[in-house]
Amino acid sequence: MPICGAKTKDRKQCQKRVSEAGQRCYLHARTEPRAILSRILTVCEAITKIAGTAEGIHWAFQHAWPHIEPIWHSGLFCPESFWWDSLALPITIQTLESPAEIHSKLEVVLKQMRGDEKRIEERLGGYSDADRERVAGAYDKVYSEIRKHYPSLANVPKD
């Protein structure tokens, strides 16, 4: 039976058994580019729905952005066009935009991201395991906040 084979924190190879060669065990699958992208899209879909109201936009600044901002500042994929250009760009601009306009911008960016999945996966695949873990961890924290405050959006289906 094949093993996971992922590098562990102590720089050894994971010896957990997996069903097929090339797969990762449950501990290491979350840092695979496809798994990270899936979590990013799930979180962005929920944030798009949440941002349809002024309270939702405020919630995103209070609860989601603090987890995303560190990876944005480190230059890791967050995706910038979703978080920064559409949601967090200087608040003075956003006070001139209605929640409906912000929601619409987020939907456009989300659609673009879904159409560009292959390139995003390649970009994530070029990161070190530690950087992929940082990105996955940030999105796990945001997802946890969504589950806590918006349980109905915790399992947003993909289009």
* Tens-digit pLDDT string for the chain (159 aa): 889 887 777 778 889 888 888 777 877 777 788 889 988 999 999 999 988 887 888 888 889 989 999 998 898 988 888 888 777 765 535 567 778 888 888 899 999 999 999 999 999 989 988 898 899 999 999 999 998 988 887 664 443
CA gap 41, 54 in Å, rounded: 22
Domain count, the chain: 2
* Same domain, yes or no: 3 and 62: no
* Same domain, yes or no: 86 and 13: no
Structural domain harbouring 1: 1-27
Surface-to-core class of residue 9, CB atoms within 10 Å of its CB (0-12 exposed, 13-18 middle, 19+ buried): exposed
Predicted local distance difference test score (pLDDT) of residue 71 = 92
Show the DSSP H helices in the chain as ranges.
Answer: 33-50, 54-59, 65-73, 80, 91-94, 99-115, 117-125, 129-149
* Same domain, yes or no: 73 and 108: yes
Predicted local distance difference test score (pLDDT) of residue 92 = 39
* Same domain, yes or no: 79 and 132: yes
Predicted local distance difference test score (pLDDT) of residue 94 = 55
| CA-closest candidate to residue 129, choices 37, 29, 62, 57 | 29
In a domain, 81, yes or no: yes
Residue 28 CA, distance from chain mean position: 17
CA gap 72, 65 in Å, rounded: 10
Predicted local distance difference test score (pLDDT) of residue 95 = 63
* Same domain, yes or no: 46 and 107: yes
* Same domain, yes or no: 136 and 58: yes
* Same domain, yes or no: 41 and 1: no
Predicted local distance difference test score (pLDDT) of residue 86 = 78
* Same domain, yes or no: 149 and 74: yes
